[in-house]
């Protein structure tokens, strides 16, 4: 997030990570996306890395449970509002991309989020493709929001963040909200309260948080 966007710019940890936004947009399970999604291969990407988009399948309700070493967190995908993003998340989860990955960042001032989704747990992972933003109109950042994390505008990959408390600052709608937490908020809040490993307000969680698997239904 550019500093000029608003009064908050959270410093990245170990890499130039910009910051994030979220919204609890209401899921419309009956809505159907009208256009195909655009997934662009990166330099390391292979044909098998790229999701296939089926508008009919992408619009179906989707629930994902993140099974972590700290407890389970269940997400309800906003398939009607963010079909391209939820299709990508489902694709990566089904291929086991998130399994064994470490959530590399927790922020405890201004905004309250846990960032996960990088296969290497370093905030730099590339799933082999990227895709544009969506569902930004009216996006907000209240507790329970799940949204894409990114460094470059309009270039989303695998990393996402979960808001475990309402932010203390206003944030511009620049990061794609694609799910909301429907279970396990206590797990997230416990991670947030524990803080960072170095005592800063933005860094690795004090106790490692590892996504062991993702169950979809």
Mean of pLDDT values over 49-73: 95
* CATH of residue 136: 2.40.100.10
Q: What is the mean pLDDT of the chain?
A: 85
Residue 31: the pLDDT is: 40
Q: Which two tokens stand for residue 41?
A: 């291969």
Residue 84 lies in a domain: yes
Please report the DSSP string for the chain in residue order.
Answer: --GGGSS--PPPSSS---------PPP-TT----S----EE-TT--GGGSPPP-HHHHTS--EEEEEETTEEEEEEE-TTT-HHHHHHHHHHHHTTTTTTEEP-EEEEESEEEEEE--TTSSS----SEEB-----TT----TTEEEE--SSTT-B-S-EEEE-S--SS---S-S-EEEEEEE-HHHHHHHHHH-BTTSSSEESBSS--EEEEEEE-
Mean of pLDDT values over 11-32: 34
Question: Between residues 121 and 131, which one has the greater pLDDT?
Answer: 131
Residue 165: the pLDDT is: 97
Of 2-16, 47-61, 140-154, the poorest mean pLDDT is in 2-16
**How many residues in total does the chain contain?**
217
Angle (CA) 94 95 96, round 5°: 90
Q: Which domain holds residue 165?
A: 3-22+44-195+210-216
Residue 18 lies in a domain: yes
Q: Which two tokens stand for residue 30?
A: 């009956």
Question: Between residues 122 and 132, which one has the greater pLDDT?
Answer: 132
Residue 154: the pLDDT is: 86
Residue 38 lies in a domain: no
Inter-CA distances, 42 with 50, 101, 105, 122, Å: 10, 21, 24, 18
Residue 163: the pLDDT is: 97
Mean of pLDDT values over 97-106: 96
pLDDT at 201 over 90: yes
Residue 36 lies in a domain: no
Mode of pairing for the β-strands spanning 101-102 and 145-148: unpaired
Q: Which two tokens stand for residue 52?
A: 């296939």
Mean of pLDDT values over 77-105: 97
Count of domains in the chain? 1
Residue 135 lies in a domain: yes
pLDDT at 91 over 60: yes
Chain centroid to CA 1: 15
pLDDT at 20 over 50: no
Residue 205 lies in a domain: no
Question: Between residues 3 and 47, which one has the greater pLDDT?
Answer: 47
Residue 35: the pLDDT is: 55
pLDDT at 83 over 80: yes
Q: What is the spatial distance between Cα 59 and Cα 56, in angstroms, rounded to a whole number? A: 6
Q: Tell me what percent of the residues of the chain surpass a pLDDT of 70.
A: 84
């Amino acid at each position: 997030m550019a500093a000029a966007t608003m009064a908050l710019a959270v410093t990245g940890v170990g890499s130039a990570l910009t910051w994030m936004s979220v919204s609890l947009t209401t899921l419309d399970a009956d809505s159907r996306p009208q256009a195909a999604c655009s997934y662009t291969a990166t330099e390391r990407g292979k044909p098998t890395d790229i999701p296939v988009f089926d508008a009919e399948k992408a619009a179906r309700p989707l629930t994902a449970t993140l099974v972590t070493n700290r407890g389970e967190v269940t997400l309800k995908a906003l398939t009607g509002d963010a079909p391209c993003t939820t299709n990508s998340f489902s694709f990566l989860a089904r291929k086991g991309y998130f399994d064994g990955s470490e959530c590399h960042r927790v922020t405890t001032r201004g905004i309250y989020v846990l960032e996960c989704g990088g296969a290497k747990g370093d905030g730099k992972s590339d799933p082999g493709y990227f895709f544009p933003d969506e569902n930004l109109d009216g996006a907000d950042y209240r507790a329970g929001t799940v949204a894409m994390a990114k460094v470059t505008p309009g270039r989303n990959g695998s990393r996402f963040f979960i808001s475990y408390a309402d932010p203390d600052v206003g944030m511009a709608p620049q990061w794609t909200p694609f799910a909301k937490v429907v279970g396990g908020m206590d797990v997230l809040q416990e991670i947030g309260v524990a803080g960072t490993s170095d005592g800063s307000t933005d860094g690795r969680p004090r106790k490692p948080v590892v996504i062991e698997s993702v169950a979809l239904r």
